[in-house]
Structure 1
Amino acid sequence: MARNQLGVLNALDVAKTQYYHFTAIVIAGMGFFTDAYDLFSISLVTKLLGRIYYFDPKSAKPGAMPINVASAVNGVALCGTLAGQLFFGWLGDKLGRKRVYGLTLLLMVFCSIASGLSFSSNSNAVMTTLCFFRFWLGFGIGGDYPLSATIMSEYANKKTRGAFIAAVFAMQGFGILVGGIVALIVSSVFEHYFPTQNYQLDRKGSTPSQADYVWRIILMFGALPAAMTFYWRMKMPETARYTALVAKNAKQAATDMSKVLNVDLEAENEKVERFVLERSNNFGLFTRQFARRHGLHLLGTATTWFCLDIAYYSSNLFQKDIFSSVGWIPSAASMTAIQEVYHIAKAQTLIALCGTVPGYWFTVALIDHIGRFAIQLMGFFFMTVFMFGLAIPYNYWKQHHTGFVFMYAMTFFFANFGPNATTFVVPAEIFPARLRSTCHGISAASGKAGAIIGSFGFLYASQSKLKSQRDAGYPPGIGLPHTLMLLGVINFIGMLFTLLVPESKGKSLEELTGENEDDASQTQQSQEMSAARTAPE
């Protein structure tokens, strides 16, 4: 234990895994379940929106969104998420984690419902309203990233902290999976009760008027898990590390954690006062001291998350286009609109089951054994390999769908058993308590900047140079094979920047940040962290 460690913090570090740990995982994790459902469910219904609102009566083909509208609908929530991560990350350090934790959830519930209530007969009005509410939905989702990660890291013991934080994030995989399942159920129900032969076909040909309810139900379902969690979030006490180290209220920290841990803890007011008076590490974010001690760490966490999300979100949001291009999903002209939703949902569900969900839980199981650094480096490496493996023999995969789906699923497996989990975990561990939420928010926002590039750029870059697509209004891009190759290069860059990220396995948060050390010890600790990698214990 570090010299002068507060008893309440040491009690948290050495606490055995118990009921409150699992409660915290579920409460924080349900937010991420909702986050993933809301962010990725839009990819299930964008083609349906195109068929409903952008049908051209002069064309015999199903309607399709203009590329700028498709980009906006897919990417606007990510813009809101970026803003929310920065704002709520900062607010979590200023006002406390708990005080703003419920606000993000309320915003998610309200905007999920409002997204499905974008009623109008005018396509521009519907899309504008939908984008407006999805921006604010993303704003609430953004706040959940730094707050959930910071709360879980500050509640956890040092032995299994990585697994607990990763378990919170792993709920994202279930959100993606349930999104696909909900779309399967809703589309199946509508197909059963309103079979194709009984459709009152309108001017949109294969798109029945009832299809307008399908996308609304799918989007609005995201409000349910968030609403179910709100009460329990409000009952959680503020974390002891914020109360003691930031708010300087040792008595309240001891009282809160005594109830949580079921032990008697001493308030240690004098030790907290001595901590405030004697420690010189109360530097701010925009100071030389922070740049010297944590500047490279922040650059590493932000850049790796940025690279990861370019590849991850472009692959996830537009997997329907990738599957269509290799012929795994039938052409739109051969299906009704609801059948198309069903096929897209089936593909997403299969990928989630085979690659996305298992990858998250491999990280949960192994992160405290082999370390964050090794998992992140390995994940980026295999993502690079599989992206090149998809891109180079692309024409071969068009004739061998099973092999393509396997390779594609492996990119998601190693994203989640890799940087998609570790980029979330590490920023919640290596920065001081008073800046932890802010720095996590900055790192996460960098990731969402990458996601925005991925979501907007992928649509343009992946378009082939075929005349038929140019005639349909799509600008010529570099084509899907070259786009996949470019994503492989970006993953390789992420692997290089991983070298800036320290290993945090098995250490208390105060050991990592030097918050319980004197100046000389802090300097030594910072140097050790910069050099730390994956040496065995």
Structure 2
Amino acid sequence: MARDQLEVLNALDVAKTQWYHFTAIVVAGMGFFTDAYDLFCISIVMKLLGRIYFHVPGSKKPGTLPPNYSAAISGVALVGTLFGQLFFGWLGDKLGRKKVYGLTLMLMCLCSVASGLSFGSTPHSVMITLCFFRFWLGFGIGGDYPLSATIMSEYANKKTRGAFIAAVFAMQGFGILGAGFFSLIISAIFDSKYPSPTYEVDPIASVPPQADYVWRIILMAGAVPAAMTFYSRAKMPETARYTALVAKNAEKAASDMGKVLQKEFEGEQQKVDNIASETSWGLFSKEFLRRHGWHLLGTTSTWFLLDIAFYSQNLFQKDIFSAVGWIPPAQTMNAVHECYKIARAQTLIAIFSTVPGYWATVLLIDRIGRFTIQLMGFAFMTIFMFVLAIKYDYWTHKDHVIGFVVIYALTFFFANFGPNATTFVVPAEIFPARLRSTCHGLSAAAGKAGAIIGAFGFLSLSQSKDPKKTDQGYSPGIGVKNALLVLAIVNAFGFGFTFFVPEAKGKSLEDMSKENEEEAV
């Protein structure tokens, strides 16, 4: 039997879109802009790191990162993110969303700068230092996932809540674009101001001393957007749902939201006490398992499967573009110009597929629903990956490279107009307030576990060689083909597990979490 909703929470559910909604989107979204910038700018500079620190004198090929370094640098931030999601997700339910929100941002600012200042007397020590700082950078990034999603869901009205949460996450697309665009500018400036010959002409001079500044500047720039929103985060009031339903302070919730909505509310402490006395079950209880066990399986499994594919695609774009010939061979460029080419490719993919995909979700999520978008996204990702994998020899022929790039870009579009957005939105809507941040952190951490598998697994698969390589194609081996085939199968499983995820369109958070239902006697 349903109980009456608290007046202040009902007011939030039915509130028209107001300025505070957009303020919350910007404040939370800039964190995700920073998250994406920091996580994906590393893929742009990794080949540059190889050429700077791992050139073998007398070799006929430019220096490249050894596989163990490449895997560590790609994956260490993801490992940090996983632990950050678990820790800050739990802490957000224990101490409050606002109290730990600024800490994650501070950690990101400090570690972005520190990553660019990575030091050491040998290439090995520089890489170790870089990995250390990127782990803690990832730890701060991890905290942003559950906290930003939970804060936005608890501020939003039920009619447009999906769009608001998706808009916060869509800033990730601008972060990926920002990483590509800024890297494009920096590498172009250094390449024009300090021109150097190609590797074929002069292997040593093709890596000018100034190249060491390029990757450091790119990594350090991630601190700027995070620092810009620190003050705004500190000024945000705690969400009414945490203050009332978790902290059990009805007067404080009414006072805070009265200032936000410019309306007076009664405290309703007695109603809050009644709710608290009837909903004391925890995460590891039979009651949670009965109410939300299948839901948690759905959110963790789909995010896990999605991130295997999504992060493989993003972190190893440079390898795929080189494989199909969209980026020229490294021997024909100097180190900085190669960085420019990789940044240009990432920027084009972001402009024409990644960013539009995110905002298509924002526009349509409250119209067609989370479930439909997620199913559709997984379905198209599966189809396009199979098309690329099965006809890989055809697509990697020099006459069909553009077709490969177009289909590959479509997988990015439907990842973002699909499960990459919805897996972030849904866990912030369907769990109880006192467990919302924790459950979102668990779901997100499952995703990062998938991302780690994707990062290391793709690297392993892509290194297998094709003995049938001919001069007519660009394929470096059967590795990329096998990786695409595996990712297609992973996406198909994601489609199936989506059926465990409930639809939250148009429903209040308390309806979805069943917090407004009285316990059966």
TM-score by length of 2: 0.96
Q: Which amino acid aligns with 1:140?
A: G
Q: Secondary structure at the match of 2:229?
A: helix
Q: Which amino acid aligns with 1:194?
A: Y
Question: What is the CA–CA distance in structure 2 between the aligned matches of 1:197 and 1:131, rounded to whole Å?
Answer: 31
2:462 aligns with: 462
1:202/1:208 contact within 8 Å kept: no
1:362 aligns with: 360
Please, which of 320, 323, 327 is the counterpart of residue 322 of structure 1? 320
2:472 aligns with: none
1:10 aligns with: 10
Deviations, residues 414-470 of structure 1 (Å, cap 9, x unaligned):
00000000000000000000000000000000000000000111111112325799x
Question: What is the CA–CA distance in structure 1 between the aligned matches of 2:467 and 2:231, rounded to whole Å?
Answer: 56
Q: CA deviation at 1:2?
A: 5.3
Q: Which amino acid aligns with 1:100?
A: V
Please, which of 282, 285, 290 is the counterpart of residue 283 of structure 2? 285
2:138 aligns with: 138
1:163 aligns with: 163
Question: What is the CA–CA distance in structure 1 between the aligned matches of 2:333 and 2:203, rounded to whole Å?
Answer: 16
2:466/2:478 contact within 8 Å kept: no
Question: What is the CA–CA distance in structure 2 between the aligned matches of 1:203 and 1:514, rounded to whole Å?
Answer: 66
Deviations, residues 501-522 of structure 1 (Å, cap 9, x unaligned):
000000000011111111249x
Q: CA deviation at 1:202?
A: 9.2
Question: What is the CA–CA distance in structure 1 between the aligned matches of 2:124 and 2:273, rounded to whole Å?
Answer: 59
Question: What is the CA–CA distance in structure 1 between the aligned matches of 2:344 and 2:50, rounded to whole Å?
Answer: 19
1:246/1:433 contact within 8 Å kept: yes
2:330 aligns with: 332
Question: What is the CA–CA distance in structure 2 between the aligned matches of 1:97 and 1:229, rounded to whole Å?
Answer: 16
2:384/2:408 contact within 8 Å kept: yes
Q: Which amino acid aligns with 1:396?
A: Y
Q: CA deviation at 1:407?
A: 0.3
Q: CA deviation at 1:395?
A: 1.4
2:302/2:423 contact within 8 Å kept: yes
Give the direction of change, closer, same or farther, for the CA distance of 1:351–1:198 in structure 2 (3 Å limit).
closer
> Which segments of 5 or more consecutive residues in structure 1 lack a partner in the other structure?
470-475, 522-537
**1:395 aligns to 2:393 (yes or no):** yes
Question: What is the CA–CA distance in structure 2 between the aligned matches of 1:285 and 1:177, rounded to whole Å?
Answer: 38
Q: Which amino acid aligns with 1:299?
A: L
Q: CA deviation at 1:120?
A: 2.8
2:198/2:206 contact within 8 Å kept: no
**1:440 aligns to 2:437 (yes or no):** no
1:296 aligns with: 294
2:37/2:176 contact within 8 Å kept: yes
Question: What is the CA–CA distance in structure 1 between the aligned matches of 2:433 and 2:274, rounded to whole Å?
Answer: 17
1:249/1:269 contact within 8 Å kept: yes
Q: CA deviation at 1:275?
A: 2.0
Question: What is the CA–CA distance in structure 2 between the aligned matches of 1:21 and 1:261, rounded to whole Å?
Answer: 10
Give the direction of change, closer, same or farther, for the CA distance of 1:326–1:203 in structure 2 (3 Å limit).
closer
Deviations, residues 101-138 of structure 1 (Å, cap 9, x unaligned):
00000000000000000123410110000000000000
- Moved runs in structure 1, 4+ residues, more than 6 A? none
Aligned ranges 1:183-194 → 2 under 5 Å: 183-194=183-194
2:232 aligns with: 232
1:529 aligns with: none
2:90/2:441 contact within 8 Å kept: yes
Deviations, residues 85-110 of structure 1 (Å, cap 9, x unaligned):
00000000000000000000000000
1:485 aligns with: 485
Q: CA deviation at 1:205?
A: 4.0
Q: CA deviation at 1:198?
A: 12
Greater mean alpha carbon deviation, residues 34-43 or residues 454-463: 454-463
1:508 aligns with: 508
Q: Which amino acid aligns with 2:133?
A: F
1:218 aligns with: 218
Q: Which amino acid aligns with 1:324?
A: S
Deviations, residues 311-364 of structure 1 (Å, cap 9, x unaligned):
000010001000100111000011000010000001000000111000000000
> Which segments of 5 or more consecutive residues in structure 2 lack a partner in the other structure?
470-475
Greater mean alpha carbon deviation, residues 52-61 or residues 39-48: 52-61
2:198/2:334 contact within 8 Å kept: no
Q: CA deviation at 1:204?
A: 3.3
Q: Secondary structure at the match of 1:271?
A: helix
TM-score by length of 1: 0.93
Question: What is the CA–CA distance in structure 2 between the aligned matches of 1:344 and 1:166, rounded to whole Å?
Answer: 28
2:102 aligns with: 102
The aligned length equals 512
Q: CA deviation at 1:380?
A: 0.1
1:312 aligns with: 310
Greater mean alpha carbon deviation, residues 69-78 or residues 399-408: 399-408
1:420 aligns with: 420
Q: Which amino acid aligns with 2:316?
A: F
1:405 aligns with: 405
Deviations, residues 379-417 of structure 1 (Å, cap 9, x unaligned):
000000010111111111122121111101100000000
Give the direction of change, closer, same or farther, for the CA distance of 1:477–1:248 in structure 2 (3 Å limit).
farther
Q: CA RMSD in A?
A: 1.8
Q: Which amino acid aligns with 2:109?
A: V
Question: What is the CA–CA distance in structure 2 between the aligned matches of 1:410 and 1:507, rounded to whole Å?
Answer: 31
2:473 aligns with: none
Question: What is the CA–CA distance in structure 1 between the aligned matches of 2:205 and 2:287, rounded to whole Å?
Answer: 65
Question: What is the CA–CA distance in structure 2 between the aligned matches of 1:54 and 1:407, rounded to whole Å?
Answer: 34
1:51 aligns with: 51
Q: Which amino acid aligns with 1:108?
A: M
**1:429 aligns to 2:432 (yes or no):** no
Question: What is the CA–CA distance in structure 2 between the aligned matches of 1:468 and 1:66, rounded to whole Å?
Answer: 25
Greater mean alpha carbon deviation, residues 215-224 or residues 386-395: 386-395
Question: What is the CA–CA distance in structure 2 between the aligned matches of 1:198 and 1:392, rounded to whole Å?
Answer: 36
Q: Which amino acid aligns with 1:59?
A: S
1:62/1:204 contact within 8 Å kept: no
Q: CA deviation at 1:30?
A: 0.1
Deviations, residues 288-324 of structure 1 (Å, cap 9, x unaligned):
1111110110000000000000000001000100010
Q: Which amino acid aligns with 1:338?
A: V
Question: What is the CA–CA distance in structure 1 between the aligned matches of 2:164 and 2:148, rounded to whole Å?
Answer: 11
Q: CA deviation at 1:222?
A: 0.2
1:62/1:206 contact within 8 Å kept: no
Q: Secondary structure at the match of 1:196?
A: coil
Q: Secondary structure at the match of 1:519?
A: coil
Question: What is the CA–CA distance in structure 2 between the aligned matches of 1:3 and 1:125, rounded to whole Å?
Answer: 61
Question: What is the CA–CA distance in structure 2 between the aligned matches of 1:202 and 1:100, rounded to whole Å?
Answer: 52
**1:352 aligns to 2:363 (yes or no):** no
Give the direction of change, closer, same or farther, for the CA distance of 1:31–1:412 in structure 2 (3 Å limit).
same
Q: Which amino acid aligns with 1:348?
A: Q
Question: What is the CA–CA distance in structure 2 between the aligned matches of 1:371 and 1:424, rounded to whole Å?
Answer: 14
Q: CA deviation at 1:477?
A: 8.7
1:40/1:179 contact within 8 Å kept: yes
